[in-house]
Every structure is written in structure tokens, then in C-alpha cells.
Chains A and B, each alone.
Chain A
Amino acid sequence: MERAELEAKVLEMVAASFKKDAADLTTETSFKDDLGGASVQMVALVSEIENELDAVLMLADASACATIGDLIDLIEEEM
């Protein structure tokens, strides 16, 4: 999968899990500052990534990502 396609998919998944509009998100969006990330939403996101991209992430690794771009890097490593 090309990086651009992966980015688009992950932005959609983040939007769905955190109940945001995908158009407002970028790879620079911060989980902590912009999304107010709680573990419940991160669990939903990790599950969705596992379902749709077949990449199994550790919750602790996903939670350690500062931005959506960092998460995409992590997914690329696992795919």
C-alpha cells in the first residue's frame, strides 16, 4: 500500500474512533493536544487498524505516538 493511501485510511479511522471530522485532521494532528485522547478511543483505533490493515499494534506503542503521522510510521513498520 502506498503511503498516501495508508495516510488517507488512517485519517478516516482516527476520525471514526475519536468522533471527529476527517477533513480537520492531518498527519501533524496531536493525539494529546488536538484529540484529547483517552485510552478507550485508542483501543477502538487499534482494533480498527487490526481489522482493516491487518497490523497488530501494542496499545502501549500506539499510545506513545504523539501525532497521527507517528502512528502511520508505526503501522508501516508492522505491515
Chain B
Amino acid sequence: MIITKLKDIDEIYEMIKPYSKILIAGCDGCCQPPRSINEAKVLGQMLELKSKMNGKKLTWKAMTVLRQCDDRIAGSTVRPYLDEYEAIVSLACGLGVSMLNRIFEDTLTFPAQDSMFGASENHGDNRYEQYCDTCGECLLGETAGICPVASCAKGLHNGPCGGQVDGFCEVGGYKYPCAWIQIYERLKKFNRLDLFNKFRPPKDYRLMTSPGHLELIQEYTNAIEEEEVEK
């Protein structure tokens, strides 16, 4: 899921200041905390109140989209409202905001949130943790499921380094656990220290380039076509 943080209300207000009718689009997708229609409504109320306090009338509508990062879903849900509103405020992550801007060329969509990172939700200790860095070269099979790229502050492929004391990392002032110690402990538990001792070459950062493109369905059909051509 994508972890997001609501922007400062002043910042959102500044963005929509030129408009008097706005559509507020929530997202029911993986956005965390969930930003569905009630959140859109609360944002609408806040913006209206802020406008009112500044002597301005703001009309708004709150609605929500199953997933804003899907062009067909986002397009068909948002389109019916477009005629009535001058701008859109999106409560999705950056993907949703970009998507709406691309689908609706004649309307500006503004982000209400900052997108932080992709993460897992831990209810136990009430935290969002970035366990994966989407690096394109998964090592989890060798590290007992703990990612050194995302969880080691230095992203080391072979660790631990000399910066750990009692299992805590020097980066951040010995507050966060050393990923490599955790990897060691967990591999030991499964009697798989053979994986720990294995040498891993440095990371291939070419696989992490941005922007990322992948033609999902085409990739396979192309391959089949190529095979057939070879034959």
C-alpha cells in the first residue's frame, strides 16, 4: 500500500484558491490511511470553512474512486462530474493525481496529499513499515525475508557493517534495529546460515532506474511472437 500524508490545509487551499467549484476525489485503493468518501467530505468541509473565513464561497462535491491509478476506473467514475466543477482535488497518492491529470486533459487535478512510500501496515505496533524498495532484484530468498535494501540504512548486500551496536544501527542514533543482525538471527533459527555466508555482488542500480516502464501483457505476447518468428 502507498502511505500518504494529508498536506497542510493552507497548501491545499492555496492550490484551489482560484476556483469556486471543486470536485474532491477520494481513493478506495491501497492508499493508507484509507481516503474514501468521508475523508473527501471532511476535506471539503475544511476547505469550505477556510474559504468562508476568508470571505469566499466555495462549492464542492465529495466522491470516491475505486482506484485512481487505473485509467478506466478513474476515467469512468470521475467523468460524469467534470462539467460542473472547475478543478479536482485528489486524495490519492501521486499515481492517482497524475492519472487524473492525464485522463482529463482539460481539467487540473491537485494533490491533497504527500505520497511517502510503499509500505506494510503493522497493526501490532501501529506502524507503517517500508519493507520493500521495489529495487527490481529481489534478495529476500537469501535473507530470510528481511530486505537489506529497504531495511538496512546503507542498503548493504553483505552485512552487518561496523556501525551496529547491540543490534542497533548507528544511522538514526541507535534507534532502529540493524537489518543484518535480524537477518542473521532469523537464518540461524532456520539453520540456514549457509545463506548468510554466501557472497552477494553489489547491487545493480540499473534495474532501479526511474521512470519505470513495463508493458505487462505485451511482454509475454511479444515473447511468443518472437519464438514463432525464430521457428
Q: Do A and B come from one complex?
A: no
